[in-house]
Amino acid sequence: MDAIATYALRLGDDSLILGQRLGEWCGHAPALEVDLSLANVALDQIGQATHFLNLAGALEGEGRDGDKLAFHRDVMDFTNCLLVEQPNGDFAQTIARLFLFAHYQELLFTALTASKDARLAAIAAKAVKETAYHATLVSDWVVRLGDGTEESRARMIAGLDWMWRFVDELFVMDEVDAAAIEAGVGVDKSALRGAWDQRIDAVLADATLERPAARRPVLGGRSGRHSEHLGHLLSEMQFLQRAYPGATW
């Protein structure tokens, strides 16, 4: 895969893995209405994944479509960030993950709408509206949980603490990003960090929470070095395609 195809693949993998994780909540959320909200976010992410992965396959030009990419790669070929593959944990941990990611995704997609690749720009233009809502929805939950009960506060802090080591990876730039920027297709992610920090800090302040202390980042997702969690996620997600090779569904 060339850099631009890989660029689309990464975007697709992020959305796919997050959508898969959020789908695990369906039927088990704290309230009926919350179940509907989480499913809506999951559906948006799966929709984005479908678009980005189909595009990645088309750019690659070897006959792989989104399904082929989603269901027929092993851990080392997945390029999602480590944040999205983290387990749901309790509701606060799920909220922490979505909170950190949704703001990043909204900023990223906003910038990506200016991509010279019309297909990427079009997907981003549609997706940015979705993520803008996710960011609002999840920020409201961070505030409620942070400034709720003692228990919810402790859980929200623990959820952010679990996820915080994966934040830096969101903004790391490598040769794929450089090539995409060079081609006028990609986004300078490092330039998004300031706006992201401001958004996160504003919500945390409203939630009466401290920003977690800086820590040594855990990196590797973009180059296929994942957590142990991803393999289990994939073995579940890819089960049918693996068990019945060649069948269509």
Partner 1 sequence: MYTTDLSGKGKGKAEAAVAEDPALVAAFEARVANDEFIEPKDWMPEAYRKTLVRQMSQHAHSEIVGMLPEGNWITRAPNLRRKAILLAKVQDEAGHGLYLYSAAETLGTSRDEMTEALLSGKAKYSTIFNYPTLTWADIGAIGWLVDGAAIMNQVPLQRTSYGPYARAMVRICKEESFHQRQGYEIMMHLAAGTEAQKRMAQDALNRWWWPSLMMFGPPDDKSPNTEQSMRWRIKRDTNDELRQKFVDITVPQAEAIGLTVPDAALKWNEERGAYDFGDVDWEEFYAVVKGEGPVAKERMQARVKAWEDGAWVRDAARVHAEKRAAAKLAAE
Partner 2 sequence: MSDASKEWPLWEVFVRGKGGLSHRHVGSVHAADAKMAIEHARDTYTRRMEGVSLWVLPSAQITSSDPGDAAALFEPAEDKVYRHPTFYKIPDGITHI
Residues that bind partner 1 (CB under 8 A): 16, 19-20, 23-24, 26-36, 39-40, 42-43, 46-47, 49-50, 53, 66-67, 70-71, 90-91, 143-145, 147-149, 151-152, 155, 236-237, 239-241, 244, 246-249
Q: Does 144 bind partner 2 (CB under 8 A)?
A: yes
User: Residue 136 CB: number of other CB atoms within 10 A?
Assistant: 13
- Indicate which of partner 2, partner 1, none lies near residue 152 (CB less than 5 to 8 Å, by partner kind): partner 1
Termini Cα distance of the chain: 27
Return the closest-CA partner of residue 139 out of 212, 200, 87.
200
- Indicate which of partner 2, partner 1, none lies near residue 137 (CB less than 5 to 8 Å, by partner kind): partner 2
Q: How far is the CB of 27 from partner 1 (least distance, A)?
A: 4
Return the closest-CA partner of residue 12 out of 48, 61, 58.
48
Q: How far is the CB of 34 from partner 2 (least distance, A)?
A: 8
In the Cβ-directed half-sphere of 150, how many Cα atoms lie within 13 Å?
Answer: 0
Binding mask 103-142 for partner 2 (x = CB under 8 A): ------------------------------x--xx--x--
Q: How far is the CB of 74 from partner 2 (least distance, A)?
A: 35
Task: Give the separation between CA 5 and CA 56, rounded to whole angstroms.
Answer: 5
SS3 for 165-233, per residue? HHHHHHHCCCHHHHHHHHCCCCCCHHHHHHHHHHHHHHHHHHCCCCCCCCCCCCCCHHHCCCCHHHHHH
Q: Does 40 bind partner 2 (CB under 8 A)?
A: yes
Q: How far is the CB of 40 from partner 2 (least distance, A)?
A: 5
Nearer to partner 2, 152 or 238 (CB): 152
Task: Give the separation between CA 223 and CA 116, rounded to whole angstroms.
Answer: 25
Nearer to partner 2, 8 or 18 (CB): 18
